[in-house]
Amino acid sequence: MELQRKARKTLDEWLLKKNRKPLVVYGARQVGKTHLILNQFAAESFPGNRHARIDFSIEKDAVRVFREASSIQEILDFLAARHGYTPDGSHLLILDETQECLRSLSLLKQFSEERPDLPVVLTGSMVRLALLRRPNEGGGFLYPVGKVSELRLHPLTFDEFLMNRDPSLHERFLSFDWAAPVLPGYLSEKAQSLYEEFLLVGGMPEAISRFMDGIEEMNRTGNSTRFNALGEGLAALKEIWSSYLNDMDLYQVSRATLLRTRMLFSALPSLLNRAHPNFHASAIEKGKRTRDFESAIQWLLEAGLLLRSDRVKERALLPLLAEDPGFFRLYYADMGIYSLSEGISPSALFVPGRSAFSGSFYENEAAIELRARGLPLFFWEGKRNAELEFLLSFQGKLIPVDVKRTGGSMGSLNDFRLHNHDDFALKVTASSCGWNKEHRLLTIPHFLFPYFLDALEEGKVSCPGIPQAPGIQDAFASGR
């Protein structure tokens, strides 16, 4: 199935910019970078022979030319002769698998200065990691700071999943009335069921495509079932998991780091399911300290496989900053990989009256939604084991966010308010929507959290203490 992505709109906007710069698209492997650029953007905006793709992983002649060329014109002559590329401004140039030729990235400075009329998109698996590992490839490398635009592509978020799975429900949530947040029971049940599908399958395009193909076959012929479709999605995830493990072999600098990377990636569920899921190296390997896992953590973060949240303790000051680098939490960057690590099967979604997912799943998914929007991750800790899973800053004000599988008490929020002022707090849980004016608390179900974040940024959330302000440019003070 051809999946719709929110980043497609971003590409259209980039193309129409008056002072357009070359675009660098990066992200974890298999999040759909090449497919989005080549099969959707290029095919639709530059149809026929109006785009050329250079794959540095297989085109060794191109690698040599880009490394040795003394001018942009020399490269353009090569592209015209070998790929039929016409440098007239109406043809798109795609430079793919850039980690195999880092000089192509540094040359974007010259493209920007000498041929700003040419639309150029550069993509690559783990580009950031490649820059970290090989900063001096080819006799010197400089990142073209200020000369490129950037787009980080993540796995699909839940709202993107719903945009493909149930477009009408997605549209309804886009126009949700946050001033009177009420959902009919039947709609909540439907959305929760689809949300649990997402928790199981995750946001990797291949996994969702295979799942959606199964759903389409079920609706068209009746020869498949929802259970079978979920199984197809998990089968794709197992292949992705295997490729990630192979990547760890390719890029590691030592055997010890490789072993600890795999150990950390596989042991993360046990950390997330603790009452306080702060990172503790000794919980993964007895007697070890955080510094023993520094290389493994850095690799997984750079590769886009994990997300990191830093601690803010008691008094929270803006802008939010990590107060102690030794206290942090790690999350999976994709829910499907988390489900696979936990061994959850499709049958778990068909047990009446029982959820297959622990509270850590909902917390992890909230982290994914935040990072996909470029927002930093911070959690708050107070005294007496008080904690809030996330802190947001909005228009210079704090919004504490409490994420729980079910209701929970007000204890941590009350403790937070002993040290800090907030205009309102957000509880993300399985309970129904509603404002509690007495406690200045908005409660929403998990599946509405991504829609809330987008509505807040767009100035569509009207609530006590926060004026409705369409067109806000810096909605999240510390988030960009």
Q: For residue 247, is pLDDT > 80? A: no
Residues in contact with 275: Cβ distance below 8 Å, sequence separation at least 6, in sequence order: 385
* Largest pairwise CA distance in the chain: 71
**Can you tell me the mean pLDDT for 451-479?**
60
pLDDT tens, 308-327? Answer: 999 999 999 989 988 888 89
**Can you tell me the mean pLDDT for 97-121?**
93
pLDDT band for position 21 (cuts 50, 70, 90): very high
Q: What is the pLDDT of residue 264?
A: 92
CB-based contact 75:69 (threshold 8 Å): yes
Question: 3-state secondary structure string, 97-129?
Answer: CHHHCCHHHHCHHHHHHHCCCCCEEEEEECHHH
Residues in contact with 202: Cβ distance below 8 Å, sequence separation at least 6, in sequence order: 155, 208, 237, 334, 335, 336, 337, 338, 339
Of 133-142, 243-252, 418-427, 460-469, the least confident: 133-142
Handedness of CA 103, 104, 106, 111 (dihedral sign): positive
CA distance 5 to 14: 15
Rg (CA), the chain: 23
Q: What is the pLDDT of residue 133?
A: 52
Q: For residue 135, is pLDDT > 60? A: no
pLDDT tens, 139-155? Answer: 455 778 889 999 999 99
Q: Which pTM value belongs to this model?
A: 0.91
Q: What is the pLDDT of residue 164?
A: 97
CB-based contact 420:398 (threshold 8 Å): yes
Q: What is the pLDDT of residue 437?
A: 87
Rounded percentage of the chain residues whose pLDDT exceeds 70: 91
CA distance 56 to 95: 8
CB-based contact 144:108 (threshold 8 Å): yes
pLDDT band for position 237 (cuts 50, 70, 90): very high
The H or E element that residue 365 is part of is helix 359-372
Q: For residue 473, is pLDDT > 50? A: no
CATH number for the segment(s) 7-152: 3.40.50.300
Q: What is the pLDDT of residue 140?
A: 52
Q: What is the pLDDT of residue 193?
A: 95
pLDDT band for position 476 (cuts 50, 70, 90): very low
pLDDT band for position 243 (cuts 50, 70, 90): confident
Mean per-residue pLDDT of the chain: 89
Q: For residue 477, is pLDDT > 70? A: no
Q: What is the pLDDT of residue 134?
A: 52
pLDDT band for position 356 (cuts 50, 70, 90): confident
Q: For residue 211, is pLDDT > 90? A: yes
Q: Under DSSP, is residue 226 helix (H, G, I), strand (E, B) or coil?
A: helix
| Sequence ranges of the chain with CATH classification 3.40.50.300 | 7-152
Q: For residue 12, is pLDDT > 60? A: yes
Q: What is the pLDDT of residue 470?
A: 37
Q: For residue 419, is pLDDT > 80? A: yes
Of 157-161, 306-310, 341-345, the least confident: 341-345
Rounded percentage of the chain residues whose pLDDT exceeds 90: 68
| DSSP structural state of residue 426 | E
pLDDT tens, 421-447? Answer: 998 999 999 877 898 888 999 999 999
pLDDT tens, 358-371? Answer: 999 999 999 999 99
